[in-house]
């Protein structure tokens, strides 16, 4: 009997005939229906075109401020609600690497649907990586090909974003540098993947750098928007 990875209760529902016929992947079974339903998906048609948050405007007021910096659009799959925060905390801060599989398939489908040439994960500061043992973003991408094109140059990413106020977060200096030859990005359509879009500062810094390296387009994909 399988246990739900999130609430640790038994997953009662057996495989249905429909699932068997359609070869529904087993990964669908690692979280119970109740936990799964607590996540709130964002319909891409109803999101801000720029940051991906649920919005009735094509470009939300937060994104208006970025307009002059760089043309950028992010797709966020879920709102950062209580369930998603609990998931992130279990996955990242408690370091339960198995939890990457909860959304892996979905992230992989989004990556494939984006038709990008190159997938670039947002890197962790080496200290965070050493403490956690894994990069949660790479866990979500799984075995799909990715290019570790970025590396952190300072402790900026490690000075926990959450500890800063909004203004400080928006004005932080470029925390990344290129880790690969720019030829690997030249004329490529790049998709940056991160776990949570908060102010947008981190992913936009990354986008700016990749664009300067010669990428034709740079888009973002985040699991959540909060």
Q: Which residues bind Zn ion (CB under 5 A)?
A: 4, 6-7, 32, 35, 48, 50-51, 60, 63
Provide the minimum distance between the beta carbon of 87 and Zn ion in the complex, in angstroms, as a whole number: 11
- Output 37 or 112, the one with its CB closest to Zn ion: 37
Give whichever of 51 and 224 is closer to Zn ion, judged by the CB atom.
51
**Shortest gap between Cβ of 38 and Zn ion (angstroms)?**
8
Whether the CB-CB separation of 207 and 198 falls below 8 Å is answered with no
The pair of structure tokens assigned to 146 is 């990715």
Nearer to Zn ion, 63 or 122 (CB): 63
What is the nearest approach in angstroms of Zn ion to the Cβ of residue 116? 20
Q: Tell me if 140 sits within 8 A of 100, measured CB to CB.
A: yes
- Is 116 in a helix, a strand, or coil? coil
Distance CA 122, CA 156 (A): 13
Name which of 67 and 159 has its Cβ closer to Zn ion: 67
Cα–Cα distance, 95 to 191 (Å, whole number) = 25
Cβ 196 vs Cβ 80: under 8 Å: yes
Closest CB 164 distance from Zn ion, rounded Å: 20
């Amino acid at each position: 009997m399988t246990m739900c990875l999130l609430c640790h209760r038994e997953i009662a529902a057996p495989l249905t005939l429909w699932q068997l016929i359609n070869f529904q992947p087993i990964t669908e079974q690692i979280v119970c229906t109740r936990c799964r339903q607590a996540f709130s998906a964002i319909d891409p048609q109803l999101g801000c075109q720029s940051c991906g948050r649920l919005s009735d405007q094509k470009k939300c007021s937060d994104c208006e401020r970025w307009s002059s910096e760089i043309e950028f659009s992010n797709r966020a799959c879920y709102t950062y609600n209580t369930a998603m925060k609990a998931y992130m905390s279990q996955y990242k801060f408690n370091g339960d690497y198995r939890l990457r599989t909860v959304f892996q398939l979905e992230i992989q489908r989004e990556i494939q649907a984006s038709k990008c040439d190159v997938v670039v994960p947002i890197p962790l500061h080496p200290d965070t990586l050493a403490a956690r043992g894994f990069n949660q973003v790479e866990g979500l991408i799984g075995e799909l090909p990715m290019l570790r094109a970025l590396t952190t140059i300072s402790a900026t990413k490690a000075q926990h974003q959450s500890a800063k106020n909004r203004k400080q977060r928006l004005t932080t200096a470029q925390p990344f540098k290129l880790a690969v030859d720019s030829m690997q990005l030249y004329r490529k359509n790049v998709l940056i993947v991160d776990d949570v879009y908060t102010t947008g500062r981190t992913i936009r810094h990354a986008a700016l750098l990749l664009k300067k390296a010669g990428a034709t387009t740079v888009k973002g994909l985040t699991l959540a928007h909060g």
